[in-house]
Homo-oligomer: A and B are copies of this chain.
Amino acid sequence: MSTELASTSKGKLTRQTILSKAVDIASKEGLEKLTIGRLANDMDMSKSGLFSHFGSKESLQISTIEMASDIYRNAVIRPALKAPKGLARLWAVCEYFFAYTEKEIFSGGCFFATVTSEYKSSPGMIRDLLALRMRDWLNFLASIAQRAKDKGELSAEVDPQQLAFEIQSILMGANWCHQLFDENHIMTTGLEAMRQRLRQLAPPEAHTTLEMTFLERTLDETP
């Protein structure tokens, strides 16, 4: 697919600007409503101009998912990877996720929460792509948990896949509460849930490290 821009009435618009808008719409209303016509209207562009970028509704939707993955990677995964491997990194992932939710980087909250709910019962390419991305994410969480186990920061009995499921549940739950109830203290509730769960899973000799990790401010507030 070409990344070059067709000449439009808003010549300064880049493909990235269009997709950022697309991600934002989809985070609120889902991907199904994301038609070329709707996006052209919202961006004051011609349908033919947009069509030359994306060709079809499905292609636009797939590009939107890839754009959302990039934004998520930059907001949560990349900054968390700066934290030391193991427990500190697991904690950093949670902190960055809650920050991503609270800052409303996407105005409908977590893009992936919205669209996976929307497509869960719709077999096809979009659902397959979303399931793949979400499986990658759960495996990413599990691999960090495995590393924490290897370092002795989590007990030998911890099942990394089980913990990945639990972390993902708490992150999604916090996003859901924040969106549905307009609750701003949900980051506190979510972090407290993670804090308590990790205290249970860390062996006694790792508790000092754990409490130090909780105290350290891993969030990098620079834009």
Contacts and interface: CB of A to CB of B under 8 A. Distances in A.
Given A121-B107, A172-B173, A193 B165 contact: yes
Given A166-B173, A168-B173, A172-B172, A180 B109 contact: no
A169 B173 contact: yes
A176 interface: yes
Given A130-B180, A193-B162, A196-B200, A118 B121 contact: no
Interface in A59-93: none
B113 A117 contact: yes
Nearest to A186: B165
Interface string A105-121: 00111000110111011
A114 B32 CA distance: 14
Given A169-B173, A169-B174, A173-B166, A181 B135 contact: yes
A166 B190 CA distance: 8
Q: SS class of chain A's interface: helix, strand, loop or mixed? A: helix
Contacts of A180: 116, 120, 127, 130-131, 134
Copies of this chain, count: 2
A147 interface: no
A157 to B, nearest CB: 10
Interface in A155-204: 162, 165-166, 168-170, 172-174, 176-177, 179-181, 189-190, 192-193, 196-197, 200
A177 B165 contact: yes
A107 B123 CA distance: 13
A29 interface: yes
A57 interface: no
Interface string A18-56: 000000000111100000000000000000000000000
Nearest to A167: B173
5 contacts: A27-B121, A29-B121, A117-B117, A165-B173, A197-B200
